[in-house]
Structure 1
């Protein structure tokens, strides 16, 4: 099955492969005196998939929500989020709303809390098209087509169902259909296959790859599953305690990490390293905004930590071709 053809999608800005779409620089999010994101920086070009990995609570989902502008008003956001040359942090709420669903869309991690329980699935999936003035008959046709594409059985009937009438996996597929129906330039995919079994997960990942190839869409693929990231991401950014620890081509980062945290993550996932039943769990507990250590935030769990790691916080620096790492001993780690 192929994606809907171009005449069935909402028109969006034409994007050339390799064109810089998104630049995030110094992104900091705080609330109540606690820093949740601390100077996050990343870039995404048209046609590429950037993986964002890290343990639960590292700031991955918060980063994607900050990009699309869906953070609570109590949170203070500083830094820069530039979309196609436009500074989004300076944009009006109306301007940001116009981008959502058409230029930038998001696949949320928890579809049960993200879908409106009082609205039928078909209406929710087609909402962005109706906002763009697409006729009702055409909206229904496109909704059925997209639901079929993501693997919803009998979509002509299912468009009349409510979210509680779908299984967890089907709700997640409906969320993906909602995010993809208008052919966005950037998809923020927050753990998009978590609720799916292996067979459906493979189908959804293939669909997302088709979107990238046929629409030229880029993706920020948020996941804690390094096995999935190793298959879908061109580049990867590794997050810990609200900061980026390492960035680079996915294959290089996973094969030869330059940061002790990345190395520990890879060692904890047997399928990424050796495909055996042996794994090395990460020592200690992750740092939190309330107890983030001075210097390197990972130093309390790092066997290579020394005095400089306590006194001086490492910054992202070049450690190889297209590789960055925030570690004082990155060269030693990557040997």
Structure 2
């Protein structure tokens, strides 16, 4: 597959009727290490979902399911050599067909990202304040105004003594403070959509809860939309309005978070929920998900989940199930979705 030829697009106007972000049939192909295009790996395969303004969508699934690559495609930070297809419609404009300069303006100002590992994402040789203020300096703001804005951003992100701590370096911050600094950096451009890639994975449970409360509070105060990438259903259940369940680069199921987690319409979602007692009930024992997860590089024929699925039949082994609406607002890519939903 070849990358789409870019064309210049004008600046974004008012948000049109409908979702803030529409992902429609998104495809991402990555070249293998030797660069042979004919062996490119389709790491994201026809992914579709919407993110309405002010809401949170949770991308969930095991490692290697394509969640992070989907988020990187949205913000335009895919690895060199990646080829894309489908549509990423932002405020009515398809970003996959926008020029490089337009994508650069969107990134940071309209769409920002909180990365999984803040220590790796932050520059170790620059102070926290300099990094948080970079996008403000690029906008040509006076130095004193930038400093005041950085102090305010760090304060809103919960960094104590922000006027003093802004002169610290990343290694002088704890893991929780580094993540708060990343949140401040992501908010600096006043975005409308915040992408959060496993934002609490490396933190202990207490700090995780604080970061999640902080993100939820900031979102509600500023009316942000958020795309939360996570493998932890407990995190997604806590903050998401809708969930998109991914497996081997494809969407297995999507719909309102509460409905999907209470009554899954795909065997994979059901297995994920059963493997996490805190999502299902407070007393039930966990039921570990059997088998090893498929990845885009070793995706089985037919339904990628069929080697691990208790309902799999001959059809599942040869026919990729279409994603279809199985209940109002509920979409599933399973030949037996209605049977799963009625269990």
Q: Which residue of 1 is the match for residue 62 of structure 2?
A: 55
SS class of match (2:20):
strand
- Quote the Cα distance in structure 1 between the aligned partners of 2:202 and 2:108: 22
Q: Does 1:212 align with 2:219?
A: yes
SS class of match (2:148):
helix
Q: Is the 8 A contact 2:237 2:258 kept in 1?
A: yes
Q: Does 1:173 align with 2:180?
A: yes
Stretches of structure 1 lacking an aligned partner (at least 5 in a row)? 1-11
* Cα RMSD (Å): 1.8
- Quote the Cα distance in structure 2 between the aligned partners of 1:301 and 1:199: 34
Which aligned pairs between 1:1-335 and structure 2 lie closer than 5 A?
A: 19-32=18-31, 33-276=40-283, 278-335=285-342
SS class of match (2:298):
coil
- Quote the Cα distance in structure 2 between the aligned partners of 1:19 and 1:206: 28
Q: Which moved more, 1:188-197 or 1:299-308?
A: 188-197
- The alpha-carbon deviation at position 86 of structure 1 amounts to 1.1
- Deviations 1:215-257, CA, capped at 9 Å, x for gaps: 2210001111111111111111000000001010000000000
- The alpha-carbon deviation at position 277 of structure 1 amounts to 6.3
- Deviations 1:28-84, CA, capped at 9 Å, x for gaps: 111232111111111111111111100011111110001100011211111111111
- Quote the Cα distance in structure 1 between the aligned partners of 2:13 and 2:127: 32
Q: Which moved more, 1:248-257 or 1:288-297?
A: 288-297
Q: Is the 8 A contact 2:12 2:91 kept in 1?
A: no
- Deviations 1:86-130, CA, capped at 9 Å, x for gaps: 111111111111111111000000111111111111011111111
- Quote the Cα distance in structure 1 between the aligned partners of 2:182 and 2:47: 27
Q: Is the 8 A contact 1:23 1:82 kept in 2?
A: yes
Q: Which residue of 2 is the match for residue 3 of structure 1?
A: none
Q: Which residue of 2 is the match for residue 9 of structure 1?
A: none
Q: Is the 8 A contact 2:61 2:247 kept in 1?
A: yes
Stretches of structure 2 lacking an aligned partner (at least 5 in a row)? 1-10, 32-39
Q: Is the 8 A contact 1:53 1:222 kept in 2?
A: yes
Q: Which residue of 2 is the match for residue 7 of structure 1?
A: none
Q: Which residue of 2 is the match for residue 8 of structure 1?
A: none
- Quote the Cα distance in structure 2 between the aligned partners of 1:240 and 1:63: 12
- Deviations 1:106-156, CA, capped at 9 Å, x for gaps: 000011111111111101111111112222212111211221222222211
Q: Is the 8 A contact 1:52 1:221 kept in 2?
A: yes
SS class of match (1:151):
coil
Give the count of matched residue pairs. 324
- Quote the Cα distance in structure 2 between the aligned partners of 1:133 and 1:277: 56
SS class of match (2:296):
coil
